[in-house]
Structure 1
């Protein structure tokens, strides 16, 4: 029974990571980016930086989840999935927020 709960917890943790990836992917870098898409001459700045901080928090949470799963998983396939999800999160975050 403990083995089954462990597998269920791994699945739930991976689902949280995938949901975090979706949030990172969907969340725009600033709240006025839709204005720049309509009219490129508009310089829409968001000086607060709250979105960057929130997205960094999501990135850290995904990284911690996948690090724990990487350490606890005995199978190579599980370790590869953890590396892929963590690398995807870092890649999405760096493309969206370091280029702004």
Structure 2
């Protein structure tokens, strides 16, 4: 896929995007860890309908966060692929002399 004339790939933006997505992914992991097994000890004595609803809601929210984390990891992978493709293209342009 060729770039439109005058459009350059911005490696710094790609780097920043990966950094931010990685931070977000880590925060999601931390949140799920805090809300997961560790919190169950605090809730051991809580029973009944409200507890069941809480557990159901927590499971739904955890699944949604895990799905978001998977999408973030996919995006990070796509940015890495774009970086590789842009690097190959930049090398090709330098070798052919078109990048001057």
Deviation at 1:69, TM superposition (A): 1.3
Structure 2 residue runs of 5 or longer lacking an equivalent are 1-8, 84-100
- The separation in 1 between residues aligned to 2:32 and 2:57, in whole angstroms, is 14
Shift of 1:47: 1.5
Paired residues, what number?
A: 71
Q: RMSD across aligned C-alpha pairs, in angstroms?
A: 2.9
Compare CA radii of gyration and give the structure with the larger one. Answer: 2
Higher relative contact order (CA 8 A, sep 6+): 2
- Shift in Å at residue 70 of structure 1? 1.7
Structure 2 CA distance for partners of 1:44 and 1:65, relative to 1, 3 Å: same
The structural deviation recorded for 1:63 is: 0.4
Q: Secondary structure at the match of 1:55?
A: helix
When normalised by structure 2's length, the TM-score is: 0.57
Give every structure 1 segment of 4 or more consecutive aligned residues whose post-TM-superposition deviation is greater than 4 Å. none
| Structure 1 unpaired stretches of 5+ | 37-41, 76-100
Equivalent position of 1:47 in the other structure: 52
**Superposition deviation, residue 67 in structure 1:** 1.3
CA offsets 1:35-58 (integer angstroms, 9 cap, x no match): 42xxxxx57352111111111111
Give the aligned partner of residue 17 of structure 2. 9
Q: How does 1:10-89 map to 2 (within 5 A)?
A: 10-28=18-36, 33-36=41-44, 42=45, 44=47, 46-48=51-53, 49-74=56-81
Q: How many angstroms does 1:72 deviate by? A: 2.8
TM-score of the aligned structures, taking structure 1 as reference length: 0.57
